[in-house]
Amino acid sequence: MKRLLVAGLSLLLAACATRGPAPDPQPVPPVVDRGGLRDGAPPRSIRPDQVPDAVPRPDPILSAGNKSPYTVLGKTYEILPSPANYRERGIASWYGTKFHGQKTSNGEIFDLYAATAAHKTLPIPCYARVTNMDNGRSIVVRVNDRGPFHSDRVIDLSYGAAVKLGYMARGTAPVEVEVINLAGIDDRRGTPFGSYRYVQLGAFGSETSAQRLRAELAALLSSPVAVSPVDTGDGLLYRVRIGPVASNEELESVQRRLEASGYSGSQLLP
């Protein structure tokens, strides 16, 4: 009996030694094609529950990123006069490491883990709910970039948004895109760059959160930083603004300092 037990144990140990470690359960991320540029997923994967929805806020629509008409790959596009009531179905793709850390079309910094998106004709920034028609999952994204420049695709989501919708491994999915209508949006596309005097870095429903960011920025910058409440019709928003600035040089210096310190999503205001 002892000999049989020893023999069985030897066979079990041999089997374990030859089997090796369990394979990584994560799917191999695809390499996607975005307007002829090869792209891919980051080495650090994330779960769908780690991607929060974008929080809609009535940010002004500025000239940055909204030039109309514009031409890409020989095709001309015209920006819609308003994002209100836009709804469309089509194919969504995603983009990731190729553009991570670079500026989006309106000057914000692309974060592949955040809930953002690119669209060819919507005024930016705006917010939209995107629903995967295959599985019913949805996410609210901030549209702040241009693309995808494929005729059969309607929207390009960040890697994180694609993970939340469950199509990252496939690369594309049929979706419905519905813009979230917001009150109090100021369309300032006609404002020239030289008239900008403020940089807005955030808008909060909580005054405490806004004051916390103001204190952080005041310690970082020499320009004045203030919290400005505004009534949106649905309640007060507390906007954190830097300025007024005296010149374009100071404005650009503020933007560079913010980007170098990891503060993204700043917007220029008159």
Confidence (pLDDT) at 210: 92
Token code pair at residue 59: 């940010």
Q: In which residue are the tokens 């700043």 written?
A: 266
> How many angstroms separate the CA atoms of 13 and 166, rounded?
39
Contact of 188 with 270, CB cutoff 8 Å: yes
Confidence (pLDDT) at 26: 33
SS3 at position 219: helix
Residue 217 CB partners (closer than 8 Å, separation 6+): 201, 225, 240, 242, 263
Q: Which of 77, 81, 84 is nearest to 118 (CA)?
A: 77
Question: What distance, in Å, lies between the first and last C-alpha atoms of the chain?
Answer: 89
87's torsion region: left (phi>0), alpha (psi -120 to 50) or beta? beta
Confidence (pLDDT) at 251: 84
CATH 3.30.70.1070 residue ranges for the chain? 191-269
CATH 2.40.40.10 residue ranges for the chain? 32-179
Token code pair at residue 88: 């469309």
Cα 208 from chain centre: 25
Q: Is the peptide bond before 69 cis (omega within 30 degrees of 0)?
A: yes
Confidence (pLDDT) at 193: 66
Q: Which CATH superfamily is domain 32-179 in?
A: RlpA-like domain (2.40.40.10)
Contact of 125 with 173, CB cutoff 8 Å: no
> How many angstroms separate the CA atoms of 149 and 151, rounded?
6
Contact of 108 with 71, CB cutoff 8 Å: no
Beta bridge partners of 242: 199, 225
Handedness of CA 193, 199, 204, 207 (dihedral sign): negative
Domain over 191-269 is classified CATH 3.30.43.10: no
How many helices (DSSP H) and strands (DSSP E) are in the chain?
4, 16
Confidence (pLDDT) at 25: 31
Q: What is the pTM of this model?
A: 0.65
pLDDT values of the chain reduced to their tens digit, one per residue, 270 residues = 333 333 333 333 333 332 333 333 333 333 344 433 447 777 788 999 999 999 898 888 888 899 999 999 999 999 999 999 999 999 999 998 888 888 899 888 889 999 999 999 999 999 999 999 999 999 999 999 999 998 889 999 999 999 999 999 999 999 999 999 998 888 888 777 667 788 888 888 899 999 999 999 999 999 999 998 887 777 888 989 998 888 878 888 898 898 889 887 777 777
